[in-house]
Structure 1
Amino acid sequence: MLERLNQAMEQIEDRLDGVIDVAGLARTAATSEYHLRRMFSALAGMPLSEYVRRRRLTVAGAEVLAGRDSLLEIAVRYGYGSGEAFARAFRAVHGVGPGEARRTGAALVSQPRLTFRLTVEGSSSMRYRVVDRPAFTVVGLKARVPLVHAGPNQAIIDFVRGIGAPTRERLEKLSEQEPRGIVAVCDDLDPSRAEGTELDYYYGVITSPSSSEGAAGAAGVTDEAGLAELAELAELAELDVPAGSWAVFTVSGPVPQAIQELWRDVFTEWFPSNPYRSRPGPEILRTVLSPDGTEADAELWLPVEHERR
């Protein structure tokens, strides 16, 4: 996998002054475009599109300082439709405009070429299983939140805190499939997975496709007080998930570090070492918190498919 990924990196270098076809890069890496973007983001710490942009502006910066071509010629060569657009992008990366850089010989920022290598760092193992699941439905309360790679996600914390205890209890009664109980579900993530991009966050449960209707009846609510408590549940969001394979990883440790590190390790260690790749679909997390809320036992469910070699 890493050898093919490095071949794709060479392909990028050959086409910095032309069109870079991500689907073609995925074919070179012998994987899907979706998985290539996910793998690259996890391994490189930046989206693939951002890496390409920085490499182009690094090479363009050298040409600006060389002074052989006009700034407009350099701008067009690296995919910018105008000198103004090129100048904005150049300044964003280098901290100085191309004209000033040429006049003064200013120091510029360089994005090095990336090469991926496998490093063996220890003998720790990762607990996982792969299961095939029929179609199911996620039922729960939904919010649009930013993606946070490290540390607490305050938007999610505020959203969950706003859900009353009666609503949580009655929502949990709708759970009927693994993973049982209340789960956190992330869907519709930006392909770049860049920090701050938005995603759909569900605080909900897993049900069979036919059981998501009639939430009040499924929760055993018949009295007026119970129906009032279910006012929020009347606005339940539903996410239909097709049948497929899921890799299930387990971890125990401090919150949220252990879970965020698990996600990182899955993409930097597990995928390169196993014949699976990620496929489009939601990510599901079930956590059981310690009494003081600082530790958790967690299950992370990721949609996968077998990698055809």
Structure 2
Amino acid sequence: MDWLARMNRAMDYIEMNLTGEIELTEVARKACCSSHQFQRMFSFITNVTLAEYIRRRRLTLAALELQNSDASKVIDIALKYGYESPVSFARAFQLLHGVTPAMARKDGIALKAYPRLSFLITIKGAEAMNYRIETKEAFQVFGIEGVFHTNGGGEAPHTPAQLWQQCHANGEVERLAASAGDFPSFVSQDLYKVHAVCSYRKTESDTFPYMLCAFKSESSKTNGYSTTTIPAQTWAIFPSEPFTWDTFDDTIETLYRRFFSEWLPAAGYEQVDGMELEIYGGRDGLNFVELWFAVRKIA
């Protein structure tokens, strides 16, 4: 089953369960990936989180029922679409539609409708994507690990970005760089010492691991750090254009979005367990990042 079919199968499941409980593990199973991987793909492709999409769809259907059924009580509609009380339902409804549920039943009231999403391949601009496919033997990295919830909850830091901020502030990034040692032979000498790796081991279904890491070599000093082995993989590698740090967020977000929305649906590859590396470097006074996605050919 190809990428588009799997993503649309996941959307079918969501649509059929808008009035019940939506299990994110089942959504991911329909798409043949992890929960974290699916939610990341979804948000990069659609510019909205999966949780927000589900909320909008439920409140769209609730508005239609309010307009088309005078007999249904507001509390019944609230419970049907997953709200525990009329108060929480009214608050969410007004935030989305700009009116209360009671007002939604009046003639001429303007409401918002968010249609069901489907995934298609579309022809976009002719801007080229630079990438290369490389097969690498197993290697090891070591560093500072965090395990994060897909919804951003749990103990602080709540996100990988916050982990970076914390480790820059307390000097851990500099200490990790000093412990890195020599580069292995398979990476460029233009790289910085500290990078990041994501989804390199199994955690709970609603969490994912992320590590600020350095490549391990014979000269590395790994005491006190987490170490993990990255197995032999085929990597789809996407380099950025040179950038200054003030444009970093836009640069890396564009790389991720184009990978998920343009390259992956049409390339004949799929991700392997969502594993990816963020590799940082610099030359001529500017920075660059390479995103390494573990992939395999779709049979």
State TM-score, norm by structure 1: 0.69
Q: Pick the aligned partner of 2:133 from 129, 150, 162.
A: 129
Deviations 1:219-267 (A, max 9, x none): xxxxxxxxxxxxxxxxx54252442524322232324243332222111
Deviations 1:142-169 (A, max 9, x none): 8947567xxxx9x846853764998476
Q: Secondary structure at the match of 1:112?
A: coil
The aligned residue for residue 170 of structure 1 is: 178
Q: Pick the aligned partner of 2:193 from 182, 193, 196.
A: 182
Stretches of structure 1 lacking an aligned partner (at least 5 in a row): 192-197, 215-235
Could you tell me the percent identity over the aligned residues? 26
For 2:159 and 2:172, how far apart are their aligned partners in 1?
A: 23
Query: Are 1:17 and 2:11 an aligned pair?
Result: no
Query: Are 1:205 and 2:214 an aligned pair?
Result: yes
Q: Secondary structure at the match of 2:241?
A: strand
Q: Pick the aligned partner of 1:264 from 234, 247, 257.
A: 257
**Residues 268 and 128 of structure 1, relative CA distance in 2, 3 Å threshold:** same
For 1:278 and 1:93, how far apart are their aligned partners in 2?
A: 37
The aligned residue for residue 218 of structure 1 is: none
The aligned residue for residue 248 of structure 1 is: 237
Query: Are 1:297 and 2:285 an aligned pair?
Result: no
- Deviation of 1:286 after TM superposition, in Å, equals 1.8
The aligned residue for residue 296 of structure 2 is: 306
- Deviation of 1:71 after TM superposition, in Å, equals 0.8
For the aligned residues, what is the CA RMSD? 4.1
Per mean C-alpha deviation after superposition, the further-off stretch among 89-98 and 45-54 is 89-98
For 1:130 and 1:160, how far apart are their aligned partners in 2?
A: 31
Does the CA-based 8 Å contact 1:144-1:201 persist in structure 2?
no
Query: Are 1:113 and 2:116 an aligned pair?
Result: yes
Count of residue pairs brought into register by the alignment: 273
Larger radius of gyration: 1
- Deviation of 1:281 after TM superposition, in Å, equals 4.0
Q: Secondary structure at the match of 2:262?
A: helix
For 1:170 and 1:26, how far apart are their aligned partners in 2?
A: 39
- Deviation of 1:57 after TM superposition, in Å, equals 0.8
Q: What does 1:276-287 align with in structure 2 at a 5 Å threshold? A: 276-281=270-275, 283-287=277-281
For 2:176 and 2:144, how far apart are their aligned partners in 1?
A: 10
The aligned residue for residue 194 of structure 1 is: none
Deviations 1:168-200 (A, max 9, x none): 7633426547546413315479x9xxxxxx985
Deviations 1:39-72 (A, max 9, x none): 2222111222221121011111121233330011
- Deviation of 1:73 after TM superposition, in Å, equals 1.0
Q: Pick the aligned partner of 1:8 from 10, 19, 37.
A: 10
**Residues 181 and 76 of structure 1, relative CA distance in 2, 3 Å threshold:** same
Deviations 1:1-22 (A, max 9, x none): 2244334334433332233344
The aligned residue for residue 87 of structure 1 is: 90
Deviations 1:193-215 (A, max 9, x none): xxxxx98562x41116996545x
Q: Pick the aligned partner of 1:39 from 38, 41, 48.
A: 41
**Residues 260 and 21 of structure 1, relative CA distance in 2, 3 Å threshold:** closer
**Residues 183 and 79 of structure 1, relative CA distance in 2, 3 Å threshold:** same
Return the letter of the residue paired with 1:207.
K
Does the CA-based 8 Å contact 1:177-1:207 persist in structure 2?
no
- Deviation of 1:111 after TM superposition, in Å, equals 1.8
Does the CA-based 8 Å contact 1:276-1:306 persist in structure 2?
yes
Per mean C-alpha deviation after superposition, the further-off stretch among 261-270 and 137-146 is 137-146
Stretches of structure 2 lacking an aligned partner (at least 5 in a row): 147-155
For 2:142 and 2:26, how far apart are their aligned partners in 1?
A: 34
Q: Secondary structure at the match of 1:260?
A: helix
For 1:104 and 1:305, how far apart are their aligned partners in 2?
A: 53
Query: Are 1:78 and 2:56 an aligned pair?
Result: no
For 1:166 and 1:123, how far apart are their aligned partners in 2?
A: 37
The aligned residue for residue 221 of structure 1 is: none
